[in-house]
A and B are shown apart, each in its own frame.
Chain A
Amino acid sequence: DQQVKQNSPSLSVQEGRISILNCDYTNSMFDYFLWYKKYPAEGPTFLISISSIKDKNEDGRFTVFLNKSAKHLSLHIVPSQPGDSAVYFCAYLGIQGAQKLVFGQGTRLTINP
């Protein structure tokens, strides 16, 4: 069972506008979520994270929102830039101890000039 779902395989946004990437989860026991960004032929790079005790976390142009009642996570990028074109993965931490990450399927974001 996919416990983290990214229902949009791709998203196209104009440069300068807001990009919103979404992620839904099923297990209410998750307490830490992360977003990773991946360029072709490179490993994923950590972008931003949020703990379930918060509903928002900001880092420059990137903001992550957590709606626990809806079991929904979103990443906002404002303003979007061409260098933001990449695949974005949401992830949550699995069982405690080894801190195993469980990833969504990914969303390919394309920023158009």
Chain B
Amino acid sequence: DAGITQSPRHKVTETGTPVTLRCHQTENHRYMYWYRQDPGHGLRLIHYSYGVKDTDKGEVSDGYSVSRSKTEDFLLTLESATSSQTSVYFCAIRETAYNEQFFGPGTRLTVL
């Protein structure tokens, strides 16, 4: 198993509150990704990182920001959570020389 953990695993919050999800890897891989999974949409890319302090937007980045100050940690922040951001969030990592991404266990976020 790829050394990826996500925290928290479950969170319930209220509309308008800030939320930060953490992805931690022990593999020292350069590439890290945040996806959300919703019924009927599969997984959609929110943001990704190609190195420390190097990040870029994905398909559904509105309302989200990310930070990567260390190789092992990639943080996803919802500045002001909305009900449309209720979802399951997955982090993934990729080794530079390979195409496959490996996923963490996910965080289920509910915004009331």
Contacts and interface: CB of A to CB of B under 8 A. Distances in A.
Interface string B83-112: 000000010101000011111111000000
A41 B104 CA distance: 11
Interface residues of B, number: 25
Given A34-B99, A99-B99, A43 B90 contact: yes
Specify the main secondary structure of chain B where it touches its partner.
strand
A105 B99 contact: no
Interface of B: 4, 31, 33, 40-45, 48, 50, 56, 58-59, 90, 92, 94, 99-106
25 contacts: A34-B99, A41-B106, A42-B105, A43-B4, A43-B105, A44-B90, A44-B103, A46-B101, A46-B102, A49-B100, A98-B48, A98-B56, A99-B31, A99-B94, A99-B99, A100-B45, A101-B33, A101-B43, A101-B101, A102-B45, A103-B44, A105-B40, A105-B41, A105-B42, A106-B42
